[in-house]
Structure 1
Amino acid sequence: MRGNLYILLQVIVLASGKTTIHLGGLFVMSGEHLFWAGSVYPGALLALEDINNRDDILPDYYLEMVANDTKGDAGRAIHSLIEMALTPPTKIMLIGGAQGEESIALAETSKWWNMIQVIPATATPVLSNRQRFPLSFRTRMSLLMFTEVRLAILRHFEWQRVGIIYTNDQSILTTVRTLTQALLEANVTLVASEQFSSTVAPSYQMAKLKESGARIIIALAFTYIDVRLLFCEAYKLDMIGPKYVYIAQGHSDYLYWMEEDPRVTCSAEEVTTALQGLLMIGDMMYRPDGKATISGMVSEVVCPTCTREVTSHNTFARRAMPSAYPSIYSSRVAHGKPSSTLLLL
């Protein structure tokens, strides 16, 4: 029956007396998205190992994961999902994906098998729709939750006039609509709102922002090449220095603006100059207060292990690991506790 949630579970009893339950995992293991999502798979494996080695978490069960590489591509992800769903053993839960369109496609499809999906690395607001995606949960916060952060910054500095520039990605468009309404309700004047195509220099749009007189500019860019293109144009138009403030989202431990790219007609030093005074906001991936999480572990204990396990060349990739670890732990919550606990994810 479509209206009821049910799982046909194929189990294997090990010689140890433990029952094996299988998870399906769809991760970025290669390709262009590896630089930021490459730590999700190692993080999931680490959590799997920790749970299986502990006697206080699902003591009568052994977790095993069948994993495939999607390269962050929605088509490859759907192909792997269908293959997993039709091939024994039965997977009681899906862990994945990473890239936004990929995760949405998986959420749209996996629900027809009544398969619970836990998404470890996607922040797109689209997945917050519980009616559309009733069986999909995630361990990373939605981009929409940063709306109040931006408003708090505006209130703190008493800024009353802002401009917005953003890329035409689905996730960003949803964020812009929510932010625009929030600005209206907060009596903040939106003097200009400009959209540009991803990976194309926003020359015209930045010129329009300058013409509008916007000095406080909220930048919503989907990719890091978009960020470099945007601030390259800011440099060319002299929209930099103490008269301008940009509020953008991201992390500064990975110096992505220093990378040369033929599509960006500014040097790394020029882009860096344009970034001076940038206000950057981002999600906190580790709990900083030293308190134990639901797993009974603290960030200071898990973090050194993350660093050792992840072989990525930059610290930015390791940021995805803390959201991958609890995605596997949620299998314990789903199997060993009431479903209402899973909603807390």
Structure 2
Amino acid sequence: MLTFLGCIYCEKKKLYIGVLLELSDHWYVRYTNFFPTVFENAFQGIYNRSDILADYEFEMVIKDTQGKAGLAARQLTEMLTEGPPKVAIIGPTLSDSLTVTGQIVPFYNVIELSYIATTATTTDRDLFSTLFKVNQVTNALNPLLIQMMKYFGWTRVGTIAHQEEFSVSQIDHFHGLLRENNMTLVTSAVISDTSNIRDVLKRYKQFGVRIIMGAFRGKVAPKIFCEVYHQDMYGDSYVWILSGPALFDGWIDVANTTEMGCTKEELIEATQGHFTLDHLRESMSTEPCISGKTPKEVMNELRGFVSETRYTLSTFSSWIYDTPWALAIGLNNSIKYLGESGLQLHNYNYSSEYLDAIVKGMREVRYMGVSDVIIILHV
């Protein structure tokens, strides 16, 4: 028996995807300019499968947000009102931008996929009804922190967050869990810069805070821990627990110690014994994932590609690679629902009928990816 798996020799139908990236005027450009290559690598793997969108191919329409939420909104609107309909939007990567674009896309009946932004704000389904996430949000780490506190018998804690959406949203969620578990939030601080960190830490000492949870970027951490060193808030009497998604590897090594009044050795001493909670971003499985390659093989391939460019491979690359696969599988799932309404994917438009079918298909996404078993999160 022969099974028809798609049109092998005829021209494939195009599905257009809008991609929002920070491609200029932002510190993240050394990473984001390589993202299209990661996407294309995933697309090629999808095209090698005869059971996933066999009659289709993707074309990306990429726009630069410059890391500005307002510009991201403008670029998104232009993307959705100009040219052929976009079957999905991928990105932007920054939490501040995603909280804006994620509230716009439902009004155009289009889905949006997020793969790096970690803000917990986007878990509000009333506001972000068509947003799907491949990665984990930061507040997923908070129940682990609560269990950790219970294990060690800690009941009093202080928190410090840098004034960024993803950090503040995680801290707010953590505060709620403290109340639910009858634990005491002694004091908290949200800092816009580190100029007042000395006063903040003095207050923590006055209140006798010994357990401190911090959510801030690696560029901020050295200045905070330099002051931790000077105020002797480390060692056996203190426990620092840091949120890992915004901390890059080697943040102490690249710290500009000449401008903060601490040596590298003093920073290392101040951070001895701290905990960092983070998500595992690359599967440890040695089995082939959906692409037919092991996670390690895929990542080594991406490292080889980026070595020939002037860019840097993001630590989130497994989620970046898994995103086109999640979209392709979701769209493939949606074909049966579209058929029930007499619709075809290649005639896609911004109607509620198409949106309903695609959302149903996306909710069924489950596969072995580079990052792990992917169950798409409809937030």
| TM-score band w.r.t. shorter chain | 0.7 to 0.9
Structure 1 gap ranges (5+): 1-12
Contact 1:217 1:247 in 2 (8 A): yes
1:237 corresponds to 2:240: no
For residue 252 of structure 2, the aligned residue among 229, 251, 257 is 257
d(CA) in 2 for partners of 1:111, 1:14: 35
Mapped to 1, the partners of 2:311 and 2:276 lie a distance apart of 19
> 1:16 offset after TM fit, Å?
3.0
* C-alpha distance after superposition, 1:26-65 (max 9, x if no partner): 1233421235655543322221222123333211111111
Once the 2 structures are TM-superposed, how far is the Cα of residue 279 of structure 1 from its aligned partner? 0.5
Deviations 1:279-303 (CA, angstroms, capped at 9, x unpaired): 1111111122345556665422322
> Aligned pair in 2 of structure 1 residues 305, 29: CA closer, same or farther (>3 Å)?
farther
CA distance in 2, matches of 1:171, 1:157: 27
Alignment correspondent of 2:21: 27
Matches of 1:253 and 1:175, distance apart in 2: 18
Secondary structure at the aligned position of 2:220 is classed as helix
Give the partner amino acid of 1:270: E
Q: Structure 2: which amino acid aligns with 1:23?
A: I
Q: Which amino acid in structure 2 is aligned with residue 237 of structure 1?
A: Q
Matched, 1:202 2:181: no
- Percent of aligned pairs with the same residue? 24
User: Does the 8 Å CA contact 2:34/2:311 hold for their aligned counterparts?
Assistant: no
Distance 1:238 1:38, change over 3 A: farther
How far did residue 219 of structure 1 move?
1.0
Residue in 2 aligned with 1:5? none
Q: Give the whole-Å Cα distance in 1 for the aligned partners of 2:107 and 2:188.
A: 39
Question: Which residue of the partner structure matches residue 100 of structure 1?
Answer: 95
Matching residue within 113, 116, 125 for 1:121: 116
- Please give the residue correspondences for 1:48-127 in structure 2 after superposition, counting only pairs within 5 Å: 48-127=43-122
Residue pairs, 1:154-193, within 5 angstroms: 154-193=149-188
- CA shift, 1:164, in A, is 1.5
CA distance in 1, matches of 2:199, 2:30: 31
Structure 1 residues 41 and 254, CA gap change in structure 2 (3 angstroms):
farther
Shift of 1:248: 0.2
Shift of the alpha carbon at 1:179?
1.2
* Aligned-partner Cα distance in 1 for 2:193–2:149: 27
Tell me if 1:266 matches 2:262: yes
Instruction: Output the CA distance in 1 between the equivalents of 2:55 and 2:42.
Output: 17
Q: Deviations over 1:186-241 (max 9, x none)?
A: 233333223322354411111111111112211122x2222122111101111122
For 2:327, the equivalent position in structure 1 comes to: 331
Unaligned 5+ runs, structure 2: 1-6, 335-358, 364-374
What is the distance in 2 between the residues matched to 1:314 and 1:248? Answer: 28
User: 2:91, 2:115 within 8 Å by CA — same for their partners in 1?
Assistant: yes
The answer to whether the 8 A contact 1:26-1:95 is kept is yes
Q: Out of 273, 277, 282, which is 1:281 matched to?
A: 277
For residues 292-311 of structure 1, the aligned pairs below 5 Å read 293=289, 298-311=294-307
Say if 2:242 and 2:276, in contact at 8 Å, map to a contact too: yes
Give 1:333 deviation, angstroms. Answer: 2.4
Moved more, 183-192 or 273-282: 183-192
TM-score (norm 1): 0.86
Pairing partner for 1:153 from 148, 153, 168: 148
Kept in 2: contact 1:166–1:194 (CA 8 A): yes
Report if aligned partners of 1:14, 1:20 keep a CA contact under 8 Å in 2: no
Residue 280 of structure 2: SS of its match in structure 1?
coil
Against the structure 1 CA distance between its residues 104 and 284, is the aligned structure 2 distance closer, same or farther, given a 3 Å change threshold? Answer: same
Q: Where does 1:208-219 land on structure 2 (aligned, <5 Å)?
A: 208-219=203-214
